[in-house]
């Protein structure tokens, strides 16, 4: 058996792993590379394997850094099934189409500017990819191919996210592979806590926050409430929250409703300015059976509430533009979460120069993204070809991260009854992944590798 790493290897985006035996070839995830400059080149280069020879794909969850190259895979000749949970399948319909639409719009804009540019894939190709999706549910064993069995376990990261337990017969023995996907932080809103796994012959473990700890949820909620109150009530400004449309936006709605009902934040107008976030919220309501109890109660309150806090879902483009004219009292949640695309850039351009406004970052900002430059303290950033001064207050609130921190990852690993024969640390920036690998060796004494892109290992 051979495992090869073609993304999220000493970096956070572009998740893609290939498993090969004499009788089967399958990929786990096929994600978009995100960030500035180099990400565009990475997304456009040919795949490092023959896509037409793939038997199937297993998808851990819908975030684009795990799913965003599936339409390209299909367009280049992959005709097999893509297995994922039902909630993930519903989210993919929205997310892949939206990603393709952005690609097409960018190509059109560049064409008008006199530049040659082809979209990475089209809306039609995204729709074709979604037709190859096959649904499953948590904790149900499936057989995607002769000699392969798989169970999707709840990863507690976003709606529908999964840890994969995969049993592969390579002709000589049956091995169990475990792909952690993105593991959520226990106690996170909306989703259940991550399922525990107790054994693996080969383990791939994510390490996004493998070298740091999140603030406690109590401290996080207090800091978020303070930032909102100071900005809205005291400074008379606006609060801008870049947020992933899937997962983070729903978490924030839950938190705002909770804080308002408990009188910890003032009266305010909440705008969810992202068509994809609106669709994702509707999908969340559809799949409440896999949400936790507090989220079910809060979401039903949002669904039935016609009073306060005033929550508006902004779909229309013209209405979105008008939000930039609001002087104060608005909390605007908009995508993309790393600020590299979408409507959030308009709201940042309008509010970053204002000392009375605030920007609250609640998620990971990959190297090279606009969000990372702001978080790292840039005094000026370039948006839509303009130099925009950064005068607004910047808050980074890590406790809302949908990724497990170092302590939670180690706790999850601590449930293994025996060491895996081989552990691969993936989905972390190089220094973070290497540091977390050292921690695993010291804590558990396991055989650990930190693969680079295109590394292959015979198991």
Q: Report the pLDDT value the prediction gives residue 195, as an integer from 0 to 100.
A: 98
Q: Report the pLDDT value the prediction gives residue 369, as an integer from 0 to 100.
A: 87
Alpha-carbon distance of 251 to 256, in angstroms, equals 9
Q: What is the pTM of this model?
A: 0.88
DSSP line for 258-322: HHHHTT-S---EEEEE-HHHHHHHHHHHHTGGGB-HHHHHHHHHHHH--SSSEEEE--SHHHHHH
The tokens describing 46, both together, are 């040919």
The residue behind tokens 């970053």 is 352
Alpha-carbon distance of 370 to 390, in angstroms, equals 12
162-163-167-170 Cα dihedral, nearest 10 degrees: 100
Could you tell me the domains of the chain? 2-212+403-458 (3.60.15.10), 217-400 (3.40.50.10890)
- Phi/psi for 322 (5° steps) reads -65, -25
Q: Report the pLDDT value the prediction gives residue 3, as an integer from 0 to 100.
A: 98
DSSP line for 386-404: EEEE--SEEEE-GGG-SS-
The residue behind tokens 């351009």 is 349
Residue-by-residue pLDDT tens, the chain, 459 positions: 999 999 999 999 999 999 999 999 999 999 999 876 688 899 999 999 999 999 999 999 999 999 999 999 999 999 999 999 999 999 999 999 988 988 888 888 777 777 777 899 999 999 999 999 999 999 999 999 999 999 999 999 999 999 999 999 988 899 999 999 999 999 887 889 999 999 999 999 999 999 999 988 889 899 999 999 999 988 899 999 998 888 888 889 889 988 998 899 998 999 999 888 889 888 988 887 887 777 777 767 766 765 567 889 999 999 999 999 999 999 999 988 888 888 999 999 999 999 999 999 988 787 788 999 999 999 999 999 899 999 999 999 878 888 999 999 999 999 999 999 999 999 999 999 999 999 999 999 999 999 999 999 998
Alpha-carbon distance of 447 to 432, in angstroms, equals 18
Q: Report the pLDDT value the prediction gives residue 307, as an integer from 0 to 100.
A: 59
DSSP line for 205-250: EE-TBTT--PPPHHHHHHHHHHHHHIIIIIS---EEEE--TTTHHH
252-255-260-265 Cα dihedral, nearest 10 degrees: -80
Where b means 16+ CB within 10 Å and e means fewer, 45-77 reads: eebeeebeebbbbbbbbbbbbbbbbbbbbbbee
The tokens describing 379, both together, are 């005094």
For strands 448-449 and 25-28, give the pairing. Answer: unpaired
> Which own/partner pairs from 435-442 qualify as long-range (CB within 8 Å, at least 24 positions apart)?
435/210, 435/211, 436/207, 436/210, 436/211, 436/406, 436/409, 437/207, 439/210, 439/211, 439/406, 439/410, 440/205, 440/410, 440/413
* Nearest C-alpha neighbor of 132 from the set 87, 93, 173, 161: 93
* Nearest C-alpha neighbor of 13 from the set 75, 84, 63: 63
């Amino acid at each position: 058996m051979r495992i090869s790493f073609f993304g999220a290897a000493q970096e956070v985006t572009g998740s893609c792993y290939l498993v090969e035996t004499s009788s089967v070839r399958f990929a786990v995830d096929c994600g978009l590379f995100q960030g500035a400059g180099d990400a565009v080149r990475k997304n456009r280069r040919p795949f490092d394997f023959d896509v037409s020879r793939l038997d199937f794909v297993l998808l851990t969850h819908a975030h684009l850094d795990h799913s965003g190259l599936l339409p390209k895979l299909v367009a280049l000749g992959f005709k097999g099934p893509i297995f994922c949970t039902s909630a993930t399948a519903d989210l993919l319909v929205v997310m892949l189409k939206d990603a393709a639409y952005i690609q097409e719009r960018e190509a059109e804009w560049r064409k008008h500017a006199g530049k040659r540019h082809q979209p990475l894939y089209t809306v039609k190709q995204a729709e074709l990819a979604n037709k190859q999706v096959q649904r499953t549910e948590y904790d149900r064993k499936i057989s995607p191919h002769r000699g392969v069995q798989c169970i999707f376990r709840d990863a507690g990261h976003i709606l529908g996210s999964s840890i994969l337990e995969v049993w592969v017969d390579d002709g000589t023995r049956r091995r169990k592979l475990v792909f952690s996907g993105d593991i959520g932080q226990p106690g996170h809103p909306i989703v259940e806590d991550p399922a525990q796994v107790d054994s693996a012959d080969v383990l791939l473990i994510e390490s996004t926050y493998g070298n740091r700890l999140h603030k406690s949820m109590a401290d996080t909620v207090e800091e978020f409430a303070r930032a909102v109150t100071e900005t809205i009530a005291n400074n008379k400004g606006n609060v801008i929250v870049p947020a992933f449309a899937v997962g983070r936006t729903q978490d924030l709605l839950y938190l705002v409703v909770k804080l308002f009902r408990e009188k910890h934040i003032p009266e305010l107008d909440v705008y969810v300015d992202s068509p994809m976030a609106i669709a994702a919220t509707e999908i969340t309501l559809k799949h409440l059976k896999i949400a936790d109890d507090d989220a079910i109660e809060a979401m039903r309150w949002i669904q039935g509430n016609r009073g306060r806090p005033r929550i508006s879902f902004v779909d229309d483009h013209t209405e979105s533009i008008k939000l930039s004219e609001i002087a104060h009292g608005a909390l605007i949640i908009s995508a993309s979460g790393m600020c590299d695309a979408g409507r959030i850039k308009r709201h940042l351009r309008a509010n970053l120069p204002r000392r009375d406004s605030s920007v609250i970052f609640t998620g990971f900002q990959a190297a090279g993204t606009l969000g990372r430059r702001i978080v790292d303290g840039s005094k000026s950033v370039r948006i839509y070809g303009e130099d925009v001064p950064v005068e607004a207050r910047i808050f980074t609130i890590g406790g809302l991260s949908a990724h497990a921190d170092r302590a939670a990852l180690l706790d999850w690993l601590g449930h293994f009854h025996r060491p895996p024969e081989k552990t691969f640390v993936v989905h972390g920036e190089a220094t973070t992944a290497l540091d977390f690998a050292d921690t695993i060796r010291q804590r558990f004494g396991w055989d650990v590798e930190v693969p680079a892109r295109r590394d292959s290992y015979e198991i």
